[in-house]
Amino acid sequence: AKLQSIQLYLFGPKNSQTLVKELKAKRHSVGGLGGLIGRKKGAVAIRINYDDIKMVFIACHLAAHANKVDQRNKELRHISNSLLSRDKRTRDLTVWLGDLNYRIEDVSNRPVRSLIHNHLQSVLVSKDQLLQEAERGEIFEGYCEGTLGFKPTYKYNVGSSNYDTSQKERIPAWTDRILYKIQDTNNIQAVLHSYDSVDQVNGSDHKPVKADLCLKWIYS
């Protein structure tokens, strides 16, 4: 599934086609005058029924900048209504991932970088806009996320693991996230084995994030 630079791919084991009963892709754009100004924001989604587990994966790119919290919340609602509203009761797992662009609130650049340098980034978790908005009930109701134990994934100098040294000197933030929701926890159990960034990848001003999530049927 693709929407300009937003791309989502699913991979599975060889000879698993017989386990796939449904496979659909959708997309939804927000803002940017359809991509005529800057990079288009929005989301792409893949819906799949694999071995009788109905899953929806959504990759999105939301509005940038620290002062755009309300706009990001609004974009999430629009995307959710467009891509999820019709099949709310018929999916077992929903996964959101991508550059959600939520920033660190009310902490200036130098203290943020100092805490990260001293491996104290956990102090900043309470200032994360996404977690603040979720706690207020504005976004991601019922969703789970692993602990933000890794360093903020944005913004780096491309080709290095050094935070932005350009004139703008963006404040580091956990812009890149993976969240998931189990619709019926009585039937399916989700175990998150790991949630981390991949610091060795230097081809972007972001560090990618990975999650190892295991699903298990619960038999009564």
Instruction: Give me the residue spans of the domains in the chain.
Output: 2-217
Instruction: State the Cα–Cα distance between residues 119 and 112, nearest whole angstrom.
Output: 11
What is the pLDDT at residue 114? Answer: 98
DSSP 87: G
Average pLDDT for residues 193-210, to the nearest whole number? 97
* Residue 37 pLDDT greater than 70, yes or no: no
CA distances from residue 65 to 164, 173, 175 in whole angstroms, order as listed? 15, 11, 10
Give the model's confidence band at 88: pLDDT under 50 very low, under 70 low, under 90 confident, else very high.
low
Give the model's confidence band at 36: pLDDT under 50 very low, under 70 low, under 90 confident, else very high.
very low
What is the pLDDT at residue 72? Answer: 97
Question: CA angle, 152 as apex, 71 and 198 as ends, to 5°?
Answer: 115
Phi then psi for 82, rounded to 5 degrees? -75, -40
Average pLDDT for residues 196-213, to the nearest whole number? 97
Instruction: State the Cα–Cα distance between residues 139 and 145, nearest whole angstrom.
Output: 13
Tens of pLDDT, residues 156-172: 999 999 999 999 999 99
Topology adopted by domain 2-217: Deoxyribonuclease I; Chain A (3.60.10)
Tens of pLDDT, residues 174-184: 999 999 999 98
The reply to whether the predicted model has a pTM over 0.75 is yes
What mean pLDDT is reported for the chain?
92
Instruction: State the Cα–Cα distance between residues 176 and 130, nearest whole angstrom.
Output: 11
Instruction: State the Cα–Cα distance between residues 8 and 26, nearest whole angstrom.
Output: 11
Question: CA angle, 24 as apex, 40 and 59 as ends, to 5°?
Answer: 35
What is the pLDDT at residue 35? Answer: 47
